[in-house]
Structure 1
């Protein structure tokens, strides 16, 4: 099962791209951090990313979603982020990465849970705030750079998905996957 990761800074358009790919028939593994944040905010914890164990909770959900996707598909699947993104988030927040997260990243590269090429969705020049996304555009540029460095350090190749119309971005990803699978 070829698993391609889509990553980038918050607000870059990853979710819209994933929704388009999903509607086009591709299996999608949802991003975990936003869902962990939303759940804990609903439980009355306004900034769960500052709580101990946050990265572990994100990793647990990522693992479960990857397992479910592997059991239910035989074709190309797209992942909205990965444990490498969780490591980038830890670095951005100044948190120590949990050992389980580092082990997961080592395992995902050694066991090829994901393809080596990662689609790096570039920012679009702005960020819209949400309950879970409390980052300014300037902060998002720092976060984008940390993501890029973290993925390269983990041994992944980055395929840029530049800003542009959604249809063009999706087409570029599909064309790249077709080339990579040949």
Structure 2
């Protein structure tokens, strides 16, 4: 099952792109950190990302969602973030990444192409997204460096209208798949 990861700064438009791809018929794997944050905030914990087991909780949800997507047997799956993003988040927050996270990244073999969705020039705050635009630029760079260090192939998705970004991703996937057939 070939998979492609969407990554980038908070508020860059990854989820909107994912929704568009899903409506177009592609299976998707939802982002986990935001949902872990939302659940724990609903349970009364204001800043769950400061908890020592935060990265473990995110990784656990990522794993369950990935296993669920694998049951589809689809030709192409799009992932909103990955364990490498969780590592970038640990680095951004100054947390020691759990060994299970590092092990999971080592085991990732199917999703080697990552679409780096560039920021749109602003960030809208939410209960889970409490980051300034300036901080988001730093976080975008941490994501980029973390993926490069882990040996993933990055494809840049520049800012722009949603339909243009989705079309660029689909064209890149078509090119990548065609190149793989030729080899």
* 1:40 is aligned to 2:40: yes
Matched, 1:148 2:113: no
8 A contact 1:4–1:117 mirrored in 2 = yes
How many positions carry a matched residue from both structures? 178
Partner of 1:74: 74
133, 138, 157: which one aligns with 1:137: 133
**TM-score of the aligned structures, taking structure 1 as reference length:** 0.97
1:84 aligns with 2:84: yes
Partners of 2:27 and 2:74 within 8 A in 1: no
Instruction: Give the superposition deviation at 1:157.
Output: 1.2
Gaps of 5+ in 2: 179-183
Q: CA deviation at 1:113?
A: 3.0
> What is the RMSD computed on CA atoms of the aligned residues?
0.6
Paired residue for 2:98?
98
Between the aligned partners of 1:88 and 1:153, the Cα distance in structure 2 is 11
Distance in 2, matches of 1:97 and 1:168, equals 35
Q: SS of the counterpart of 1:5?
A: strand
CA distance in 2, matches of 1:137, 1:131: 15
Question: How big is the shift at 1:149?
Answer: 0.2
1:99-114 alignment to 2 at 5 Å?
A: 99-108=99-108, 112-114=109-111
Distance, in Å, in 2 between the alignment partners of 1:171 and 1:128 is 24
Q: Which 4+ runs in 1 deviate beyond 6 A?
A: none
CA shift for structure 1 position 73: 2.7
Question: Does the 8 A contact of 1:27 with 1:73 survive in 2?
Answer: no
Matched-pair contact (CA < 8 Å) for 2:6–2:78: yes
Q: Distance in 2 between matches of 1:181 and 1:125?
A: 31
Q: Is the 8 A contact 1:40 1:48 kept in 2?
A: yes
| Superimposed CA distance per residue, residues 102-134 of structure 1 (whole angstroms, 9 cap, x where no aligned partner) | 0000111xxx131x2210000010000000000
